[in-house]
Amino acid sequence: MNLDKIIEENTRLARQMELDQLIPFVYHIQQAKRIFITAAGRSGFAMQSAAMRLMHLGLTVYYVGDTISPAIEAGDLLIAASGSGSTGSIVRAAEKSKAVGAEVVAITTNAGSLLAKLASHVVLVPAAEKEDHSAKISTQYAGSLFEQFLLLLNDAVFQSLWKLSGQAAETLWKRHANLE
CB atoms under 10 Å from CB of 118, counted, come to 20
CB atoms under 10 Å from CB of 4, counted, come to 8
Cβ proximity of 116 and 106 under 8 Å: yes
Any catalytic annotation for residue 103? no
Which listed residue (8, 9, 147, 180) is catalytic?
147
CA distance 92 to 114: 10
Fill in the amino acid letter for 122.
V
Q: Find the helix or strand (DSSP H, E) in which 81 lies.
A: strand 77-81
CB atoms under 10 Å from CB of 89, counted, come to 14
Instruction: Tell which phi-psi region holds residue 101, choosing left (phi > 0), alpha (psi between -120 and 50) or beta.
Output: left
- The residues annotated with a catalytic role in the active site are 147
